[in-house]
Structure 1
């Protein structure tokens, strides 16, 4: 059954490989075949489907022939890829060369909107993206001293994220690719956060362990190869970045430069041992994350201290500021302790699977936090590994990580054909607001978060069991 597929295609869409990470032998065979048959031009494109058509999946994919005029300029270091990122609240674009040279990077922040609405408002974020996307892309090309005709391909984030926001970036990418007959690469946002470390640390080879921490996601993944990931732990409710933002807002901090940086700065003034917050999920011996309970503890502490968020930190009294700083420091200590515990266990699991692992990559917006880096570096050193963190400008959402991920997949033939130059307005894009990265590690499945008994207080267990025995 495998050989007919292999003889049909030399340029196979990356989506099949991302959705089937459990077949490493198939992936290796496919790669070998791709190298041997570079002249054939057939690929699968899941990026667009007509209105009311069934969702594209492994069972109903279709192959499309590339015509002779399709322009593929460069296959190695001379590749030039435009990356577009609009998954949440930043509009970003960048141009990156195949040798890792960053030709340009442009980011338009929605910090004012975040401060005004107290968080991300999807519809407002979509409108903000729409207003600046053309300008951001033009600036990225201008700073690189290039035009669309100089590009090899366009890479764009298609998930996970807010569908309204993702649509803006995908629409722009398809417009450029269609007009200039460019191939496209649909990028997984969290995979891009992990892979950008390979742009910075050129010695970073697979396999490696990655901790991805941002406002919407916490992930611990074992990266076996490009497109092959084992998920060791994930967020079961709120991510650490969201907890940072909420705590900063409750403390009346200036949100225009981000809740995380504002809270980290205030925490330096406080006593991290002053408030005894409980470490989340201490009883669960897995690698999953939960910050909802810690948020509740913080909110109760703020209420007990009678902190009024409507009074900005800049106008707070010395005593009030001190109370806020103590809460910030205590929160940060416990929030990061939770990361440390999970990373420590994940390293043990990862080394059992792949003893050759040498690196832990920490990326995502929260990886910009110096306190987080310092604490995790101590854990990594104890385990005999090395910590790799991209610079802060590449930890937060950016176009460089999207372009580089596009380059990595493009080199292996995982791209999609140019869309029609005049694409119908009613076309349905392949957006993936919820898109798992890799398959779940068996030992990482926590019964406690899936069974109702996890919500029952332990002291009630014997009473319930006795009642059930009487009924039987």
Structure 2
């Protein structure tokens, strides 16, 4: 990894964006599937945010407080809270400083675009090392751009999951070092909740309840946000997420991966015929809100092989005929991939309105939500249902520190935070990392047959082995 990040100016893209306001931090238990009545009674906040499987020393200070006590927190009404947010869940190292008034004081992102291009995707160990090399500089630059010192911070918020555990660890260790040294409270943030709530940073009129479509390289989620930390999961990813499908398709078509697959596919698709290749829409037979992109990826791969497209030849060097074939595949893939989103969103809107008739907004967030084609198609869906579509600006759709910092503000206000960690915490201390962390309750009708079919397929000969063992008979030859 030496040489991967020689200078902050030449190999890392730094981005500063000034906007103003959002939401996040939750510790959400893995709920069993529930059938939600049309007018359910919301649980008190104190019972809605239990910390499961956390080491004793990491149990949040708010876990035993009642909602009433939390609301009496003298800091909760302070409009001058200053939160540092740190994000290292996957392939970008990000930090930001946000005031509780909604003012974004700074936003810094160190991109791993070169690594993505080199490996054709995220390589966890390489990503961890890249995070470790730049985390100190990223955080310091965020403080410098905010014209603040660490001593002016109120608390530190950091992503603890979901994500790659190797990457999460880098951000959590940095956050705990700062919080421990300065005796600051620390807020552990759910990455996907932050994506959902970042729209509240941009649009102050966005109130609960609202529907959120969260689409990225690792996640597809349809969530009904009923209150801060109270979510109903209407649909999720059965296998691969849409961002993964975009990335793989772009790689197989020989596109420039330094911009990631989404922008590359969207740009090439403008040159192609979206009806040229008749890809099948995934999960047409499943009347739920779950997503699956593994099958569509396989269709694309087979079509590329059938047309003898060589990914080793970059698109910039392809003949006009070859480029046209690639453009047709890109456009056809994008049409079907987004049509899958549209169909599931339509059903999710119907379900959400049954549970919460007052829903007025669909929030689309996550890296793929910065795609203009995705936004235009989703806008048609919400308009048919008399709703409004809210999409954060692209800089707040991709992974960023602003959404983490603002989520820290929201939860800190109601007393949901951990006490300062030890000032001299050992490097090998047990950390609360949650690589797999469900967001909210699972809606019973949202359970997919496809999700329940993940059973090991046992070869008939192995079945015979088991039966013979149970009956005490000689084992058949396999």
Please give the TM-score of this superposition, normalised by the length of structure 1: 0.84
1:248-259 equivalent positions in 2, closer than 5 A: 248-259=250-261
**Superposition pairs for residues 35-74 of structure 1, below 5 Å?**
none
Cα distance in 2, alignment partners of residues 412 and 56 from structure 1 = 16
Which residue does 1:350 correspond to in 2?
352
Q: Residue 27 of structure 1 aligns with which residue?
A: 44
For residues 25 and 345 of structure 1, do their structure 2 counterparts lie closer, same or farther at Cα, with a shift above 3 Å needed? closer
* 1:231 aligned residue: 233
Matched, 1:297 2:299: yes
Q: Which runs of 4+ in 1 moved over 6 A?
A: 20-23, 43-47, 452-455
Q: 1:25 to 1:271 in 2, by over 3 A?
A: closer
Q: Tell me by how many angstroms 1:373 deviates.
A: 0.0
Shift of 1:24: 5.7
1:299-343 Cα distance to aligned partner (Å, 9 max, x none): 011011111000000000000000000000000000000000000
Deviation of 1:257 (Å): 1.2
CA contact (8 A) 1:46 1:56 kept: no
TM-score (norm 2): 0.83
Give distance in 2, aligned partners of 1:452 and 1:369. Answer: 31
In the aligned structure 1, how far is the partner of 2:305 from the partner of 2:218?
Answer: 26
Structure number with the bigger relative contact order (C-alpha 8 A, sep ≥ 6) is 2
Q: 1:134 to 1:379 in 2, by over 3 A?
A: same
Aligned to 1:9: none
User: Is 1:241–1:260's contact at 8 Å kept on the other side of the alignment?
Assistant: yes
Alignment correspondent of 1:147:
149
**Which SS does the other structure have where 1:206 is aligned?**
coil
Q: CA deviation at 1:14?
A: 6.4
* 2:292 matches 1:275: no
In 2, Cα distance between equivalents of 1:207 and 1:452: 33
Pair 1:204–1:409, CA change in 2 (3 A): same
Cα distance in structure 2, aligned partners of 1:432 and 1:351: 31
Counterpart selection for 2:196 from 194, 197, 206: 194
Deviations 1:41-74 (A, max 9, x none): xx98986568xxxx979xxx899xxxxxxxx977
Residue equivalent to 2:163: 161
Structure 1 residue corresponding to 2:309, chosen from 298, 307, 327? 307
**Structure-2 separation of matches of 1:135 and 1:44:** 32
* CA pair 454-448 structure 1, distance change in 2 beyond 3 A: farther
Which residue number in structure 1 is paired with residue 474 of structure 2?
A: none
- Partners of 1:402 and 1:96 lie apart in 2 by 9
Q: Corresponding residue for 1:217?
A: 219
Q: 1:452 to 1:110 in 2, by over 3 A?
A: closer
Q: 3-state DSSP class of the match of 1:311?
A: coil
| 1:4 match | none
Match of 1:185 in 2: 187
CA RMSD in angstroms, aligned pairs only: 2.6
Q: What does 1:322-333 correspond to in 2, within 5 Å? A: 322-333=324-335
- Once the two structures are TM-superposed, the CA of residue 30 in structure 1 deviates from its matched residue by 7.4
Question: Would you say the 8 A contact 2:75–2:413 is kept in 1?
Answer: no
Which position in structure 2 is the counterpart of 1:172? Answer: 174
Could you say what secondary structure the match of 1:403 adopts?
helix
Q: Where does residue 413 of structure 2 map in the other structure? A: 411
CA distance, structure 2, for counterparts of residue 25 and residue 336 of structure 1:
34
How far apart, CA to CA, are the structure 1 residues paired with 2:454 and 2:157? 42
1:449 CA displacement: 3.1
For residues 4-54 of structure 1, give each alpha carbon's deviation from its aligned partner in whole angstroms, at most 9, with x where no partner exists: xxxxxxxxx9655666798964425879xxxxxxxxxxx98986568xxxx
Change (3 A) 1:46 1:170: farther
Alignment length (residue pairs)? 418
The unaligned stretches of length 5 or more in structure 2 are 1-23, 35-39, 66-73, 458-478
Cα distance in 1 between the residues matched to 2:94 and 2:56: 26
Partners of 1:294 and 1:270 in 2: CA distance: 18
Query: In 2, are the aligned partners of 1:49 and 1:428 still within 8 Å (CA)?
Result: no
**Aligned counterparts of 1:29 and 1:133: Cα–Cα separation in 2:** 33
> What SS is found at the alignment partner of 1:429?
coil
Q: Which residue of 2 aligns with 1:120?
A: 122
- Residue segments in structure 1 that go unaligned for 5+ positions in a row: 1-12, 32-42, 64-71, 456-472
CA 1:45–1:73: 2 relative to 1, 3 Å:
farther
How big is the shift at 1:452?
7.3
Are the equivalent residues in 2 in contact too, given 1:106–1:136 (CA < 8 A)?
Answer: yes
- Partner of 1:182, secondary structure, is coil
Q: Distance in 2 between matches of 1:181 and 1:276?
A: 59
Asked if 1 retains the 8 angstrom alpha-carbon contact of 2:29 and 2:51, the reply is no
Comparing 418-427 with 338-347, which one deviates more in the overlay?
418-427
Q: 1:405 to 1:46 in 2, by over 3 A?
A: farther
Structure 2 SS opposite 1:253: coil
The answer (yes or no) to whether the contact 2:239–2:292 under 8 Å persists in 1 is yes
CA contact (8 A) 2:278 2:332 kept: yes
**CA distance 1:75–1:183, shift in 2 (3 Å):** farther
Match of 2:232, SS state, is strand
Give the Cα separation in 1 of the matches to 2:161 and 2:205. 28
Taking the aligned partners of 1:316 and 1:94, their CA distance within structure 2 comes to 41
